[in-house]
Structure 1
Amino acid sequence: MTAQPATAAVPELDLDPFSDEFLTTPYPAHEQMRETGPVFRLERYGVWGVARYDEVSRVLAAHETFVSSRGVGISDFAKEKPWRPPSLLLEADPPHHTKARHVVTQIMTPKLLRSLKDGFQQRADELIARVASRGGEIDGVADLAEAYPLEVFPDFIGLPKDGRENLLPYGSMVFNTFGPRNSHFERALERGAKAQGWIMEQCRPGAPAPDGLGAKIHAAAADAGYSAEDQAKLLRSFLSAGVDTTVHGIGNALQCLADNPEQFAALRKDPSLARAAFEETVRYSSPVQTFFRTTSKDTELSGVPLPEGSKVLMFLAAANRDPRRWENPERFDIRRKAAGHVGFGFGVHACLGQMLARLEGECFLSALARNVAGIELAGEPVQQLNNTLRGLDSLPLRLTAA
């Protein structure tokens, strides 16, 4: 049946999900969108929106109908040229996506990640103990949330020590460009362009250290028949998404624990809750707030007809606080069974690096529980405004060493 154009029965909202006001405090708008209806229209951008858990889940699951190959941002690659070559992982559909994903998953196995845990844990303990022993005020972002992933992740990939700071502006650029060409897009493009050369150099075959994941990805990609150029694209996709999201996840966890001292006390009492605490952080304060899909054919969603080529904006963070799915969703509770949140997506496009992010988050928070007796805000946190991500630019903290 051919879908009909939008009618007056479909709610329209005059919201700008990429405005400074929305990005700074998205939660009231999230509630408004959830209560408006299962599907709504954002006329400002000519896109459809879904903010309830069920609809977001259905879009993520139906990858043949709601495709990624036409761009996971606001741009439709069928109608306009991407600003950079599309990712072989994020902006591809089966069977091309399946082939590319297999290159990475055959290497990054649960067994490999288990072998990393002791080393990751030791470095988390060393960093947190060192920072906590300094006393006084610290910046939870620069001193901890950025410092830890920028140490362990590049080592795992096989990147040199010099230049790692380029990973953050490059990742910020990629995620900002999923939104409209606003001030965040333009600033991120300017800052990221300076880092892009270093990233491209590190992604070429032969550049990563021979014992790191990067070299293994190149070898597996070559065996799968990928050209040197596509091998570099594959590794670039992993680098663009592998740092910022984890940095924001750890930074958000620090803020949540400082804001909820009873939750930090529970973590201190039982450090084995570290994995659950990181999982709850991803649900409660989702580092990845939104993603787009594009309809590959005329379809419908919860009774709303969507023509082929419709851009659908999924509000992942709103779904993660949907009271239809979660009890007391506005409460940060590290004992909550947060499994099932969509903070890492799911289905064929589930975040490829989620196991690594979870490992880093668990190691960091268990180290925090053992090495810090108290954590409190020492000033007002500064939100980092990004068209796709939610995280902090700075987080003034006072830590009491254990």
Structure 2
Amino acid sequence: MSPATECPAYDFDLYSDDVLRDPYPHYRALRDLGAAVWLPRNALYAVGRFEDVRAALRNPALFASAQGVAANDHVNEMSRGTTLASDAPLHDRLRAIIAAPLLPRALEEIGPQIRSEARQLVEGLVARGKFDAVSDLAQHLPLTIVSKLVGLEDHGRGSMLRWASATFNVLGTMNARGCTAMSDVQEMRGYLGGSAIRERLRPGSWGDRIFAAADRGEVEPERCPVLMRDYLGPSLDTTIFATANLILLFGQHPEQWDLVRKDAALIPGAINEALRLESPIRGFTRCVTADATIGGTLIPAGSRVLLLYASANRDERKWHEPERFDVRRRASDHLGFGNGTHMCAGLHLARLEMTALLEVLIEKVQHFEIGEPVLALNNVLRGLKSLPVRVS
């Protein structure tokens, strides 16, 4: 669809390697250009200001997910009817099933287990003195505790990281990265959709509960594998990236780490601030169901709009000195987990895991000496592949 004539254009591919490596100047340029900006190389409108992104996320009737949330038609077509790519009433019914074990009251049962595992992990790493903040620290809880809770047996657990990364890569454009990831996505769909999947799940696990819901008639049996996939994203890459980003930021800003060490009550604020400043999810698209006006710019019905959470979280109109890391900032309304009906179902689990790690780290670590971070290039996620750390 052709852009509205009054809409400014930004002639960069937001999914290119160069942009992924340093996206923030591009986000700022988009915000400065206008409330809505046409991306000719991606055939999308981009929305990057905080108030506009939040308003769109809170208006699913106009900014719909049912036609998919990817930046390419192929994945939007194949993902229709999933929790991510649906609207009420289907979305509400599906989300109620997968969110049940992720609610705060349900997580109280596993809190002691996660805290115990976090303490054992951190104490071991501190004793070593140096480790990788991604593979040794951030990945541990999701790949042990959480994979066990989901109920995936060894083959599935060994593939989960690769599948999760691929799931987000295909939600961007079908560039080389997205095309390559499709084979991993198909492997995941085949595994989770196989006839033997229920037998492989631990009885009482989150995955097993999905099939039990089908037995009760709460969801169609053919949707069970689809719902299983919903645990991969919130349980893995997003939390892993957010955790490693915390260590990176504390290594870059030791004075902020000192503040948290002296006052554990700052831990929730520190997590929010890290999620705001280095949002693991760059953003998803929505399909406009009727003509929409954003900041005076007309977006025609049927257009696809990219809602940039990571840009909104650095919007100068919302945040004072938005590029500064400040653990005392009131950032609880950040959009790192999205907003509205599609707000991340795993946000409480992510907070629990990060909090458990920080509670032990503030006891054991006075200073993070970080090495050269290695970025994990992903079409939709932003995070680290590796981060060498020495602690004292």
TM norm structure 2: 0.94
Hey, what's the Cα distance between the residues in 1 that align with 2:192 and 2:260?
A: 37
Alpha-carbon shift at residue 160 of structure 1 (Å): 2.7
Q: Partners of 2:234 and 2:102 in 1: how far apart?
A: 15
Residue deviations 1:261-280 (CA, integer Å, cap 9, x gap) = 11111122223322222211
Looking at structure 2, the residues matched to 7 and 84 of structure 1 have their Cα atoms a distance apart, in angstroms, of: 29
What is aligned with 1:57?
A: 54
SS of 1:383's equivalent in the other structure is: strand
Aligned residues: 392
Q: After superposing the two structures, state which structure 1 stretch, 340-349 or 190-199, moved more.
A: 190-199
Distance 2:259 2:90 in 1: 45
Structure 1 vs Structure 2 CA RMSD: 2.1
1:316 and 2:313 aligned: no
Identify the residue that residue 384 of structure 1 maps to in structure 2: 376
Contact 1:287 1:390 in 2 (8 A): yes
Q: Assess if the C-alpha contact under 8 Å between 1:121 and 1:364 holds in 2.
A: yes
* 103-112 or 145-154: bigger deviation: 103-112
Aligned counterparts of 1:131 and 1:24: Cα–Cα separation in 2: 29
Match of 2:387 among 381, 387, 395: 395
After superposition, give the CA deviation of every residue in 1:278-333 in whole Å (9 maximum; x if it has no partner). Answer: 21111110000111001112222222221121010111101001111111111111
Matches within 5 A, 1:89-100: 89-100=83-94
The Cα shift of 1:170 comes to 0.5
- The answer to whether the 8 A contact 1:87-1:234 is kept is no
| 2:357 matches 1:360 | no
Of the three residues 120, 124, 129, the one matched with 2:118 is 124
Cα offsets for 1:37-77 (capped at 9, x unmatched): 1111111122111110011111111101111111111124x
**What is residue 183 of structure 1 aligned with on the other side?**
176
Q: 1:230 is matched with which residue?
A: 223
DSSP-derived class of the 1:351 partner: coil
Q: CA 1:260/1:165 → structure 2, altered by over 3 Å: closer, same or farther?
A: farther
8 Å contact kept, 2:48–2:309:
yes
1:70-116 per-residue CA deviation (whole Å, 9 max, x = no partner) reads 1111124xxx5757444521011111111111223344332111222
User: Aligned AA for 1:69?
Assistant: A
Unaligned runs of 5+ in 2: none
Q: Does 1:345 align with 2:338?
A: yes
Instruction: State the match for 2:247 in structure 1.
Output: 254
- CA distance change for structure 1 residues 48 and 245 in 2, over 3 Å: closer, same or farther? same
Q: CA deviation at 1:227?
A: 3.0
Contact 1:275 1:361 in 2 (8 A): no
Q: 2:37 maps to what in 1?
A: 40
Shift in alpha-carbon separation, 1:394–1:107, aligned structure 2, 3 A? closer
Q: Are the aligned partners of 2:69 and 2:76 in contact in 1 as well (CA < 8 Å)?
A: no
C-alpha separation in 2, matches of 1:5 and 1:305: 12
Alpha-carbon distance, 1:392 to partner: 0.6
**Sequence identity percentage:** 34
Question: Which amino acid counterpart does residue 89 of structure 2 have in structure 1?
Answer: P
1:109 aligns with 2:106: no
Structure 1 residues without counterparts, runs of 5 or longer: none
State the distance in 1 between where 2:189 and 2:135 align: 21
Q: 1:139-218 alignment to 2 at 5 Å?
A: 139-161=132-154, 163-193=156-186, 197-200=190-193, 204-218=197-211
Contact 2:279 2:382 in 1 (8 A): yes
Deviations 1:107-141 (A, max 9, x none): 43321112221211111111011011112x42111
- The farther-off stretch of 230-239 and 57-66 is 230-239
Map 1:327-342 → 2, pairs under 5 A: 327-342=320-335
Task: After TM superposition, give the deviation of residue 217 of structure 1 in Å.
Answer: 2.6
Partners of 2:36 and 2:162 lie apart in 1 by 34
CA deviations on 1:310-357 (whole Å, 9 max, x unpaired) are 010111101001111111111111121111111111111111111111
